[in-house]
């Protein structure tokens, strides 16, 4: 490693550890996460999305394995799901480091910058498969581009290349980069077997590009695609008028600006200036609600994939143009390390706020029986809790969250969705529509004097 690479790697490890903490706070239940956790507890599977079956499988397999080992209650399944979705993107990025030869580990700044500036600007919505898919892409790119093609590396390339066929819609943009990487490496290989493996990977990359294009232009849900495009063009990934700013995204853009503008001889000053600004803003987010906007993180769920395209292309160019590589790696990598630390600090604060919301949500569930109106969660007298609940609300998942947030088998209360919440997978007023989960009994529609007896019978 070059002198500053260990610092960047250490910052990445800290960021991953912070995401383990985030997962332990059940932050993976934000957005659609609560619904996914309930479906895993009920059916042992995530609702299938044809365009993302690989990234879904990467997330789903560890949870299913934990269920087979005894983690089967809804609360435990939700905890494992939360840990997996928060941990995997960063863990896969860290695997890029050993995939790089020791003399070329300065190129680790490319995938780790995408993780800090892109993935962690959407990690609050860890349920998004795109976060895992982007890390998956970087690991495969590093395996193809760098290092000798040993038997183990070729096996990994072949397996991962087949997986990109259903990795996600972003392969429309990422597939051509992988194809170019295979082509560049193919011309430099003289042995038959490596060429066969690279040709297989190139075919998979080409096919994945076509499959990604199909699901972009013929999506599983036209409404979801149009909503994403609308939010992206309106910069909702940066600012939500009802919530505030996506601070990790802002810090990522600021870091990129400093990296490209810092002049030789003034790099130390640039690093310290960026450190003061970024750490101060991250600390300010602990008290300023408008710097803690979860909805912007969901809208930024494809930012990491989008920024990966030019950065990966630049990596391939720098790999064969040493002056370009020297110019890039001469940039003050301390800025990247500080970016990781500042964004991780923001995520610590975000996890604290999510914990406060879940504590309030759980207290409401414990204090009442039956179907509880959403207004009970956002009711006075504690105005801060009401404002926090409104920011953490996902329109249609309150019943799901009610089933997994508490370690209980007797469900005597369910918080309803707000009026006009849109699509709802089940109606709490009809137990027949609720998910069937082994060991869980729904008693919230029974008189209080019959609840205990109903649970005892089960």
- Looking at the fold, whether 329 and 414 belong to one and the same domain comes out as no
> How high is the pLDDT of residue 405?
96
pLDDT reported for residue 323:
84
State whether 338 and 369 are in the same domain.
no
Asked if omega into 87 is within 30° of 0 (cis), the reply is no
Tokens representing 432? 């027949």
pLDDT in tens, 74-132: 999 999 999 999 999 999 999 999 999 998 998 999 999 999 999 999 999 999 999 99
Of the residues 352, 384, 406, which one is the last residue of a structural domain?
A: 352
At 128-165, the pLDDT tens digits run: 999 999 999 999 999 999 999 999 999 999 999 999 99
pTM score: 0.94
Residue matched to tokens 């950065």 = 311
| Core vs surface per residue 313-352: b (16+ CB within 10 A) or e | eebbebbeeeeebeebbebbbbbbbbbbbbbbbbbebbbe
Is 361 found in the same domain as 344?
Answer: no
Residue 380's pLDDT is 67
- Please check whether residues 9 and 128 belong to one and the same domain: yes
Is there a single domain that holds both residue 122 and residue 225? yes
Give the C-alpha separation, 233 to 217, whole Å: 17
Alpha helix locations (H) across 246-376?
247-261, 267-284, 294-299, 303-320, 322-329, 334-367
In this prediction, residue 4 has a pLDDT band, given cuts at 50, 70 and 90, of: low
H or E stretch covering 8: helix 5-24
Q: Structural domain tally of the chain?
A: 2
pLDDT score of 267? 75
Contacts of 383 by beta carbon, 8 Å cutoff, 6+ apart? none
Residues 47 and 178 in one domain: yes
Task: List pLDDT tens digits, range 187-218.
Answer: 988 899 999 999 999 999 999 999 999 999 98
**Shared domain check, 361 and 342:** no
Same domain, 258 and 189: yes
Q: Are residues 203 and 301 in the same domain?
A: yes
Domain end point (choices 331, 352, 373): 352
Q: Give Cα 292 to chain centroid, integer Å.
A: 17
Q: List the domain range (segments joined by +) for residue 394.
A: 354-457
The size of the chain, in residues, is 458
283 or 384, which is more confident? 283
Taking only the tens place, the pLDDT of each residue in 285-320 is: 999 999 999 999 999 999 999 999 999 999 999 988
Please give the helix or strand (H or E) that residue 173 lies within, else none. helix 171-187
State yes or no: pLDDT of 1 exceeds 70: no
Residue 11 sits in the same domain as residue 42: yes
Listed residues 297, 332, 352: the one ending a domain: 352
Task: Write the DSSP string, 117-130.
Answer: HTGGGTGGGTT-HH
Domain check: are 341 and 372 in the same one?
Answer: no
Whether residues 430 and 400 share a domain: the answer is: yes
pLDDT of 91 reads: 97
């Amino acid at each position: 490693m070059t002198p500053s690479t260990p610092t960047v790697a250490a910052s990445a490890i800290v960021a991953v550890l912070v995401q383990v903490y985030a997962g332990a706070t059940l932050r993976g239940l934000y957005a659609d996460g609560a619904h996914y956790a309930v479906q895993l507890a009920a059916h042992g599977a995530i609702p299938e999305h044809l365009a993302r079956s690989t990234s879904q499988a990467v997330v789903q397999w560890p949870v299913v394995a934990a269920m087979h080992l005894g983690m089967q209650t809804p609360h435990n399944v939700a905890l494992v799901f939360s840990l997996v979705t928060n941990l995997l993107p960063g863990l896969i990025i860290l695997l890029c480091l050993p995939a790089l030869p020791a003399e070329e580990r300065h190129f680790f700044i490319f995938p780790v910058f995408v993780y800090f500036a892109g993935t962690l600007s959407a990690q609050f919505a860890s349920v998004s498969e795109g976060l895992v898919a982007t890390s998956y892409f970087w690991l495969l790119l590093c395996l193809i581009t760098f290092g000798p093609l040993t038997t183990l590396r070729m096996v990994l390339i072949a397996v991962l290349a087949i997986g990109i066929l259903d990795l996600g819609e972003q392969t429309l943009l990422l597939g051509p980069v992988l194809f170019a990487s295979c082509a560049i490496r193919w011309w430099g290989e003289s042995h038959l077997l490596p060429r066969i493996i690279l040709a297989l990977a190139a075919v998979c990359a080409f096919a994945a590009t076509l499959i990604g294009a199909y699901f972009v232009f013929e999506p599983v849900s036209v409404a979801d695609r149009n909503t994403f495009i609308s939010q992206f063009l309106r910069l909702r990934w940066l600012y939500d008028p009802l919530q505030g700013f996506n601070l990790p995204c802002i810090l990522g853009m600021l870091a990129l600006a400093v990296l490209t503008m810092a002049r030789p001889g003034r790099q130390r000053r640039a690093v310290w200036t960026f450190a003061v600004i970024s750490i101060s803003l991250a600390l300010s987010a602990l008290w300023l609600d408008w710097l803690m906007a979860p909805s912007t993180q969901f809208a930024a769920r494809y930012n990491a994939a989008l920024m990966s395209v030019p950065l990966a292309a630049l990596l391939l160019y720098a790999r064969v143009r040493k002056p370009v590589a020297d110019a890039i790696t001469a940039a003050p990598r301390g800025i990247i390390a500080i970016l990781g630390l500042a964004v991780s600090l923001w995520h610590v604060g975000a996890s604290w706020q999510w914990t406060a919301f879940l504590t309030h949500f759980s207290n409401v569930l414990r204090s009442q029986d039956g179907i509880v109106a959403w207004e009970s969660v956002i009711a006075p007298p504690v105005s801060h809790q009401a404002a926090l609940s409104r920011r953490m609300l996902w329109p249609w998942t309150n019943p799901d969250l009610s089933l997994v947030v508490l370690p209980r088998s007797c469900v005597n209360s369910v918080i309803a969705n707000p009026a006009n919440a849109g699509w709802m997978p089940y109606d709490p007023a009809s137990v027949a529509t609720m998910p069937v989960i082994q060991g869980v009994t729904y008693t919230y529609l029974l008189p209080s004097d019959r609840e205990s007896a109903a649970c005892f019978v089960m």
